Amino acid sequence: MEKQQNMQISRNKLLGVAGVGWMFDAMDVGILSFVIAALAIDWGLSPSQMGWIGSVNSIGMAVGALFFGILADRVGRKKVFMWTLILFSVASGLSALTTTLALFLILRFFVGMGLGGELPVASTLVSESVEAKERGRVVVLLESFWAGGWLIAAIISYFVIPATFWPIEGWRVALILTALPAFYAIYIRMKLPDSPQFIAKAAAKKRPVMQNIREVWSKPYRRSTFMLWVLWFTVVFSYYGMFLWLPSVMVGKGFDLISSFKYVLIMTLAQLPGYFTAAWFIEKLGRKFVLVTYLIGTAASAYVFGNAESVTILLISGMLLSFFNLGAWGALYAYTPEQYPAMIRGTGAGMAAAVGRIGGIFGPLLVGSLIAKGYDIGSVFAIFCVAILIGVAAVLFLGKETKQLELE
C-alpha cells in the first residue's frame, strides 16, 4: 500500500513538473497567434508575410524535433527537456526587442527549435515513467496543460496586447513574459528525475545515431513509422493552419481586434473538456478509438467554422473545433512513443514530430497564400478537413492498438 502511494506521488510530481513546462510551450505558441494579428496592424504585414511567421516557427520545430529527439536517446530525456525550455524562452524574449520582420523571423526559428524539441521528449519521458495501465491517461493529462498555456496566452493577449505601455507596444510586453520559463529550467534541474528506462538503457553501449534512424524504418517498425508520419503531417498541417490564424480569421470576418481575442479566449476554454474526456476514453476504449473519433469531430467542426456566418455558429463550431482537435492531440502524444522500444523511442518520436512540423510549415503559408488570392475562409478550411480525414484513414488501416501494452 505504501509503495503504491509513493508511486502515485512520484507520478503526480512528474506530471506536474513536466506539465508546467508543457504549459509554457503552449503559452508561447498561443501568444504568437495573437502577436501575428497585432503585427499585421503595427507593421502593415501582408497575408503572405503573416503566414511566414507561423511557418518559420514550424521550420524551427521540425529541426528541433529531429535534432533533440535523437539527442534524447544519447544524453537523456531530462537534460534535453531542460535545454529546449531555455532555448525557446530566451529566443522568444529577445524577439520582443526586434524592429524588423527579418530579425523577428530568425528568432522565431530558434523559438521553434526549442518548442519542437521539448514536446516529443517530454511525452517520451512521461510515457517511460508510469505504469502501462495508466500511461495513456497520464500522457493525455500532460497534454491538457497545453490548454492551460493557451488560456494564459489568450488572457495575456486580451489584456496586454491591445494596451499601450508607453513607449513599448503591448505585443512586445507579451513576448517578454514568454521569457519567464527559462527560470523554470533551474527548478527542473533540481527536481525532475530522468526516465527509468533511459537510465537502465544508459548502462548499455551507446549506439550510432544513424543506426537508430535506420532502425526506425526497419521491418518491425516500418508500418508504424509510415502511419505516424502520415498522421503527424496531417494533424500538424491542419492545426497550425487553423489555430495560428484564428484571431486573424475573426478579424477577417469583421470583428475588431479586442472582440476577436475575446471570442478566441472563449473557444480556448473548450480545450480542457476535450483533453479530459480523451483521457478517460483512451484507457477505456483505446488509442485508435480516441484518435479516429476526435479527428472526425475536428474535421466536421472545421468545415462548419470556415463557413459560419453568425456569431453563434462561429462560437459553437470554434468551441467544438478546440474540443475535438486538442483531445486528438492528447491521444497522438500518448500513441507515438508506444510504437518503439526504449533504444529508439526518442528518435522515433522525434522523427515523427519533425515530419509533422513540415506540415506546420505549409499550413500557415497555404492560408496566407489563398487569402491573398481571394479565396474565402470556407474553402481554405475545407482543405484542412480533407487532410484530417487522410490521417484518420492512416490510423484505421495501418495503426495497431497499444492500450495497456507494456513498453519494450
* Residue 390 vs residue 137, higher pLDDT: 390
Q: Identify the bridge partners of residue 169 per DSSP, sorted by sequence position.
A: 164
pLDDT for the residue 8:
61
- CA distance linking residue 351 with residue 249, whole number of Å: 31
1-10, 42-51, 74-83, 388-397 — most confident range: 388-397
Which pLDDT value is given to residue 5? 53
Q: Which domain holds residue 354?
A: 8-190+217-398
Cα gap 84→111, rounded to integer Å:
9
Whether the per-residue pLDDT at 6 is higher than 60: the answer is no
The answer to whether residue 203 is domain-embedded is no
**73 in any annotated domain:** yes
- Site of grid cell 483533453: 275
Is the pLDDT reported for residue 324 higher than 90? yes
Q: What is the pLDDT of residue 49?
A: 86
Note the pLDDT of residue 189.
64
Is residue 190's pLDDT more than 70?
A: no
71 within a domain of the structure (yes/no) = yes
Domain membership of residue 204 (yes or no) is no
* pLDDT 10s digits, 23-60: 888 888 888 878 888 888 889 988 888 878 878 888 89
Do 87 and 181 contact (CB within 8 A), yes or no? no
**Looking at residue 107, what is its pLDDT?**
95
Q: What is the pLDDT of residue 55?
A: 80
Range among 161-175, 292-306, 330-344 rated most confident: 292-306
State the pLDDT at residue 225. 96
pLDDT reported for residue 51? 79
Q: How confident is residue 152, by pLDDT bands cut at 50, 70 and 90?
A: confident
Percent of the chain with pLDDT over 70: 90
> Which of the four pLDDT bands, split at 50, 70 and 90, describes residue 102?
very high
The mean of the pLDDT values for the chain is 84
Pick the residue with more confidence: 333 or 265?
A: 333
Q: What's the rounded Cα separation, in Å, for the pair 363 and 51?
A: 8
Q: Which of 28, 188, 148 is nearest to 94 (CA)?
A: 28
Please answer whether residues 322 and 305 qualify as being in contact, where contact means their C-beta atoms are separated by less than 8 angstroms. Answer: no
pLDDT in the model for residue 335: 93
pLDDT of residue 7: 55
Quote the CA–CA distance of 4 and 185 in Å, as a whole number.
Answer: 29
**The one-letter amino acid at 203:** A
In a domain, 65, yes or no: yes
3-state secondary structure the chain: CHHHHHHHHHHHHHHHHHHHHHHHHHHHHHHHHHHHHHHHHHCCCCHHHHHHHHHHHHHHHHHHHHHHHHHHHHHCHHHHHHHHHHHHHHHHHHHCCCCCHHHHHHHHHHHHHHHHHHHHHHHHHHHCCCCHHHHHHHHHHHHHHHHHHHHHHHHHHHHCCCCEECCEEHHHHHHHHCCCHHHHHHHHHHHCCCCHHHHHHHCCCCCCHHHHHHHHCCCCCHHHHHHHHHHHHHHHHHHHHHHCCHHHHHHHCCCCHHHHHHHHHHHHHCHHHHHHHHHHHHHHCCHHHHHHHHHHHHHHHHHHHHCCCCHHHHHHHHHHHHHHHHHHHHHHHHHCHHHCCHHHHHHHHHHHHHHHHHHHHHHHHHHHHHHHCCCCHHHHHHHHHHHHHHHHHHHHHHCCCCCCCCCC
Residue that is written with C-alpha cell 497550425 in the block: 240
Q: What span, in angstroms and rounded, lies between the C-alpha atoms of 168 and 171? A: 8
Burial of 191 (0-12, 13-18, 19+ CB in 10 A): exposed
Provide CB contacts within 8 A for 222, sequence distance 6+. Answer: none
Indicate the burial class of 222 (C-beta count within 10 angstroms; 0-12, 13-18, 19 or more): exposed
- What pLDDT, on a 0 to 100 scale, did the predictor assign at position 103? 95
CB distance 296 to 273 below 8 Å: no
pLDDT at position 394: 97
> Comparing 2-11, 21-30, 126-135, 357-366, which segment has the lowest mean pLDDT?
2-11
Residue 3 counted as domain residue: no
* Other C-beta atoms lying within 10 Å of the C-beta of residue 90: 19
Give the confidence band of 291 by pLDDT, cuts at 50, 70, 90: very high
Higher-confidence residue of 277 and 168: namely 277
**Higher model confidence: residue 3 or residue 41?**
41
CA separation for the pair 279, 185 (Å, rounded): 27
Kindly compute the dihedral angle of the four CA atoms of residues 366, 372, 375, 378, in this order, to the nearest 10 degrees.
60
Residue 11: pLDDT band (50, 70, 90) is confident
Q: Residue 38: inside a domain, yes or no?
A: yes
CATH number at residue 264: 1.20.1250.20
* Residue 202 pLDDT exceeds 60: no
Of residues 260 and 233, more confidently modeled = 233
Q: For residues 253 and 381, is the Cβ–Cβ distance under 8 A?
A: no
Inter-residue contact 53 to 37 (CB < 8 Å): no
Q: Is 322 contained in some domain?
A: yes
The predicted pLDDT at position 205 comes to 53
For the chain, the domain total comes to 1
> Can you tell me which residue has the cell 525532475?
192
Looking at residues 193-213, what average pLDDT do you find?
67
Residue 4 has what pLDDT?
57
CA–CA distance, 90 with 85 (Å, rounded to integer): 9
Place 248 in a pLDDT band, splitting at 50, 70 and 90: confident
